[in-house]
Each structure stands twice: as structure tokens, then as C-alpha cells.
Structure 1
Amino acid sequence: MHESLKRAISALQITDVYLKNSSVHTMEQWDPKRADISSFKYQFLHVIDKSEIIDVEENEGPDSDKVTSKSFFLVYITLGSRVVDQNALEDEGDKKHAKEPFAQIEGTFVAEYSISDDFDKSDEEALKSFALSNASFHVWPYWREYLMSTCTRLNLPKIPLPVKQFTKS
């Protein structure tokens, strides 16, 4: 493990994971409950969009004038899955894509970490390394649950995502 990643791991503590936005779409005039799913194929999306540091100031209490400052590191990750007809896939170079998916589910999640006071917030290498190597592990269970429950609500076949190992990109 690189020293920069070790610095970030020791300085960051997960405080929250939440859904920032989402979109769900099914093709018009398509009924997933009565569809022939034998030719369905699932395509997946996983993108670490951005990260940022925010500083928050809070009063220590209603009777206190003392203000404390806390810093947080936020990582935005977009995940998605779509249902396409395997027979309708087209070649585009060395990739295959569908003209229009039958269904598409996407969500952007935020992983929020408190930053210890002794960490140098200008250490971009450590923060970037952490965002690329660790944040997806914290978001993945939330995405798995969101995808499974949304599939249920849409009458789509359930997509039980595995526990995932992520690689640096």
C-alpha cells in the first residue's frame, strides 16, 4: 500500500453514505412483468465523478459563543444498471451498445468522511488515492440495496450484485 493511501486511511473516518440523485426509466409500451427475459443482458456503470472538501462551523451549544470547525471529504460516485436486448446490440468499434435500454436505473451516491485535525488537507495525492481505492467499498452495499429494491418496484428481474472488488482506474 502506498504511503499516501496510508495517510488518508488514518485521517478519514466514514460518517455518512447517501443518495444524492437518481433516475429510473423504462421504455414506453414495454411491460417488464410480461416480457420475455431470455434475451436480456445487463450493462453496468461505475464512475467516481468527483471529490471535494467542505468546512462546517458549528456552535458548541445554545448558551455558548464558541464555534468549532470540522472538515469533511466527500466522494461522489455514480452507479448504474440497464437492461438491454442482447439480440439488439450493435457493434461500435470493439464495444457493443444497445440503441435504447428497456430499463435503466442510475444513482449518484456521496460517501462522506470526517477529516482528522492533524491531516494536511492539501495532500491531494492521498485524497485522490483514497477516493479511487476505498470510497466505492463504502458505497457499494447502498447501491446493491437500491438496485434490488428498485428492480422489485419496476417488476424487473432482481439483480443480486455480488460483493465487489474494485481496482484503481
Structure 2
Amino acid sequence: MMTENLQTAIDKLRIHDVYLKGSISQCANSFEPKYAPDIDKLEVQTKHLVKGAEVVKLDETLFLMRVFIELGARWVDNSITDEAKSIRAFIEAEFVAEYSMDEELEQACVDEYALKNASYHVWPYWRELLMNQCNRMYLPRYVLPTMQLAQNRRQIDENAIEDR
């Protein structure tokens, strides 16, 4: 559902940049995906966390909102009961989505946009990184679905359209 805070943020924010802040990928010491006979039996678990958002004043008329998003995938052997030992491989990344704005938004607008919309801009970069890293590590191909935020698209005033 579109709230007033979210609509205000959508109206005032312009995507400025999306970039990778850091990433890590690793296989467990004894795990060799290229030669693992039961690799297709591993379960994939994913992580998606909006870590935070900040607003930086660049000059008198320009502000920058930065949203930090952590994403990850791990391949788990469910036949191992110890959770730490069940993780056979993982890929994690932190992305930053930057938005420019001409006036500072209220914190409620920043928070709601960060939680509900920022991941939409980061998602294609995460999908590409994950698929490529799976190939490089000989992990099973894992394709994330495309992200769609139908509920959070800019609302168009029906009366404004009729007036044209």
C-alpha cells in the first residue's frame, strides 16, 4: 500500500548511483563444489537486509541519501545438524544505492523508502553478481527472480490525466 511518506520520497528522490561496497564468497574447507557428487541436494538460503540509510548535505541545495543493503546466499547441507558446519558455501555482498534530492526529507520518508523501494534499484546488480560468482565457484546455477514493486510505483492522479 502506498503511504504519504513513501509517495513523498518517490516524488523527491532521483537515483544517482548503485555500487558494490564489499563482497565475500567462500567454500567450507573440505567442500569442493566442482567434484561434489551430491551438490544438487544442497539447499539455498538467501539473505536480504536493509542495513540503514543516511542523508548527507552536499551543498546548500543538494542532498544525497545513501541506502546500505546486505544480500547473500548460502548452500546448506540439511543432513548436518550443526548449523555452522552445515554451510558448504556462501556468497555475500553489500551494495549502496544513492539518491539525490533538492531538499531534505523527513526521516520517516527516508526510512520507508529505504525499506520498501531501494532494493529495487540494487536487485539487478545482486542477481548478476550472484550468477557470475556461482559460475566461478562451480556452485549450482542459482537464478534469482526479477524484483517487482507493483505496489510502490508512483501514483498518478486520475484527475490530472482527465484535465489534459
TM-score range relative to shorter protein: 0.7 to 0.9
- 1:134 matched to 2:117? The reply is yes
8 Å contact kept, 1:4–1:129: yes
Mapping of residues 80-159 of structure 1, within 5 Å: 80-89=72-81, 97=83, 99-115=85-101, 117=102, 119-121=103-105, 123-159=106-142
Report the 3-state secondary structure (helix = DSSP H, G, I; strand = E; otherwise coil) of the residue aligned with 1:139: helix
Q: Distance in 2 between matches of 1:27 and 1:98?
A: 10
Alpha-carbon deviation of 1:37? 1.4
Which residue identity does 1:150 align to in structure 2? Q
Residues 71 and 120 (structure 1), Cα distance of their counterparts in 2 relative to 1, 3 Å cut: closer
Which residue identity does 1:82 align to in structure 2? R
Q: Distance in 1 between matches of 2:57 and 2:51?
A: 20
Q: Distance in 2 between matches of 1:120 and 1:106?
A: 32
Which residue identity does 1:5 align to in structure 2? L
Residues 70 and 120 (structure 1), Cα distance of their counterparts in 2 relative to 1, 3 Å cut: closer
8 Å contact kept, 1:85–1:98: no
Q: Deviations over 1:117-159 (max 9, x none)?
A: 2x343x0111111111100111111100000011111111111
4+ runs of 1 displaced by more than 6 Å? none
Report the 3-state secondary structure (helix = DSSP H, G, I; strand = E; otherwise coil) of the residue aligned with 1:4: helix
Q: Distance in 1 between matches of 2:67 and 2:143?
A: 24
TM-score (norm 2): 0.83
Which residue identity does 2:19 align to in structure 1? Y
Query: Which protein is richer in helix relative to its size?
Result: 2
Alpha-carbon deviation of 1:48? 0.4
8 Å contact kept, 1:84–1:98: no
Query: Which protein is richer in strand relative to its size?
Result: 1
Task: Give the paired residue count.
Answer: 149
Unaligned runs of 5+ in 1: 58-67, 91-96
8 Å contact kept, 1:8–1:126: yes
8 Å contact kept, 2:6–2:112: yes
- 1:7 matched to 2:22? The reply is no
2:154 aligned partner: none
Percent of aligned pairs with the same amino acid: 42
TM-score (norm 1): 0.81
Report the 3-state secondary structure (helix = DSSP H, G, I; strand = E; otherwise coil) of the residue aligned with 1:148: helix
